[in-house]
Amino acid sequence: MILLAYVLCAAIVIACIAFCHTHRQMNAAALGFGAACAAITGYILIFVQVPVGTLIVGNGYFFIDHFGLFEVAVATAIFLLAAVYARGYVENLIISHELETGSLKLFYGAWCLLELVIVLAFYSDNLALFWIFAEMTTIISAMLVAILSAKENIDAALKYIFVASVSMLIAFAGLIFLFEIARSTTGTGSLNWTVLIQQAPAFPPGMAIAAFALIFVGFAAKSGIFPFHTWLPEAHAKAPSAVSAVLSGVLLNVGIYGIIRVFAIVHRTTAVATASLLVLFFGVCTIGIAAISMLPEKNLKKMIAFSSIENMGICLVGLAVATPLALFWVLFHVMAHAFTKASLFFSAGILHRQYRSHLSADAPDEIRDVFRFQPLAAWGIIIGGLAIIGMPPFAVFFSKFFILLSLGSLSLWVLVLVLALLFVAAAALGYFVIRSFSRVTPEGEPLDLVPYQTPLAMKAPIVILLAAVLLLAFLFPMGGTAYFDRIVAELMFI
């Protein structure tokens, strides 16, 4: 019944947005919705005995377990901060005529709807239902990408829709396969994850691997895995930065979440070795393609988008190891990456406002005198960049370290390869930042730039997220470890 609270809040807020007139009111409504979702999630986290079984009488379409709840908690936190950030960011978009005032209602309406759909997706027990919600997130977020009045955005959105939706259809064929497997082994077909994981040991390995491969194609496209990553840099770089943060921090997790769920089912069959190999191969390829693409990149937001692809690859590599320890750190990595990446996109958004090219979104950024104009955003990029490449003591360091450690026990050669690729990616990011941030106008020359007055609403989320990334590693053992252990147990890895 608690899910109705989310739906009710969304309905009220979207109705409010329909009657709002100014941007401030609409943003306040979206902010309120973010806060309400976070509050409900916090309430479930603290007071409700998880896992909760059937929430709707009958077939059991929804459920809440520790894994879903964890993803929802990460998602709502990022949505809340992104809504705060959007207050300043979207206002500037309107002033510079990049966003029509008429589109504002659509923007905030889609924003709230996206948050609701994501929450419902993470609470879906039925995999087909999860598929539908995941597919809806594609459409709604593509709308958010296309909303800026620029032709490149429409291009990026269409590419996003076609690559993601086409692959998701293949995933649906995989789900039908899974249904048939369940029917042929037990007599009654089901797509409920809780049922499937129980029946999994009886599944024939050949059909299980076929179903997994088809489903993997779909969710891999959602999370930007090679060779379906082509839409990601375009869409993430051209979306408004508040949306980019959500795309990178939350939507990629939807894909990884689906892969982990289905992998957990295959993990209990005898086909697990083949599935692991498949996942490992695509994981390493993804890291490789991201690292190589980062080298010549000159656009900050695209750089950060490629770094997202790389991190999704790391999640896959960790998953392929398929030990409880590796899974534990994959979950940690999902969380750490989401927070770090959101803060990076927020910082990049400020720099984008300051230095954006008026010609094209594809043009390289002309960043100079960055410490004079936007010191906070510059430090945000530097610290966030250090965090994302895995410098201690930030949270990503721990997850990368332990995932690589587990990988070492599987194959030393793959470990060396992945390490080299990670080094290339880190070097590319570092080189880009040093080169563009050290560009200074010589003393005496006139400055033709007008400093962009960054509102507090855009600065605060960056500071909060960076503090969270730093503290996460130290505060995590208090309760976090036990919680993650429970997720690993529920996914039946132990």
Partner 1 sequence: MTDPAFFDGVIKILFVCVLITAAYIITTKNLISLVRVYSLQSLVLVAIATALFWREGAAVLAGIAVVTLVTKVIVIPYFIAAVQEKIRIKRDIEFHYLSPTSSLFISIALMLVIYIALSNVLAGTPAKGSLFFFGAVIGLSLVLMGMMVTFSRKKAITKVLGYLSMENGVLLFGLFATELPFIIEFLIVIDLIILVILTTILTIGIDSTLEEYHNRLHRFYLWEEQEEAP
Residues found near partner 1 in the complex (CB under 8 A): 59, 100, 126, 128-129, 132, 135-136, 139, 142-143, 146, 149-151, 154-155, 157-158, 161-162, 165-166, 169-170, 172-173, 176, 179-180, 183-184, 188-189, 191, 204, 206-207, 210
**Residue among 158 and 457 whose Cβ is closer to partner 1:** 158
**475 exposure class (CB count in 10 Å sphere: 0-12, 13-18, 19+):** exposed
SS3 192: strand
Give dist(CA 25, CA 22) in Å, integer: 5
Tally of CA atoms within 13 A in the half-sphere of 432 that contains its CB: 27
DSSP character string of 108-158: HHHHHHHHHHHHHHHTB-BHHHHHHHHHHHHHHHHHHHHTSS-HHHHHHHH
**191 exposure class (CB count in 10 Å sphere: 0-12, 13-18, 19+):** buried
**Residue among 105 and 486 whose Cβ is closer to partner 1:** 105
> In angstroms, what is the minimal distance from the CB of 121 to partner 1?
12
> In angstroms, what is the minimal distance from the CB of 177 to partner 1?
8
Both tokens of 129, joined, read 């239902």
> In angstroms, what is the minimal distance from the CB of 296 to partner 1?
25
Give dist(CA 37, CA 287) in Å, integer: 34
**Residue among 164 and 291 whose Cβ is closer to partner 1:** 164
**Residue among 81 and 181 whose Cβ is closer to partner 1:** 181
Residue from 347, 351, 348 nearest 368 by CA: 351
> In angstroms, what is the minimal distance from the CB of 406 to partner 1?
31
**Residue among 207 and 419 whose Cβ is closer to partner 1:** 207
> In angstroms, what is the minimal distance from the CB of 110 to partner 1?
11
> In angstroms, what is the minimal distance from the CB of 155 to partner 1?
7
Conformation bin of residue 451: beta by default, left when phi > 0, alpha when psi is -120 to 50: beta
Residue from 154, 316, 349 nearest 223 by CA: 316
Give dist(CA 471, CA 272) in Å, integer: 36
**Residue among 129 and 386 whose Cβ is closer to partner 1:** 129
Placement of tokens 């147990």 in the chain: 489
> In angstroms, what is the minimal distance from the CB of 183 to partner 1?
7
Placement of tokens 């979206």 in the chain: 30
**Residue among 32 and 189 whose Cβ is closer to partner 1:** 189
> In angstroms, what is the minimal distance from the CB of 115 to partner 1?
17
**Residue among 362 and 366 whose Cβ is closer to partner 1:** 362
Measure Cα distances from 409 to 61, 271, 388, 403 in Å. Answer: 39, 20, 24, 10
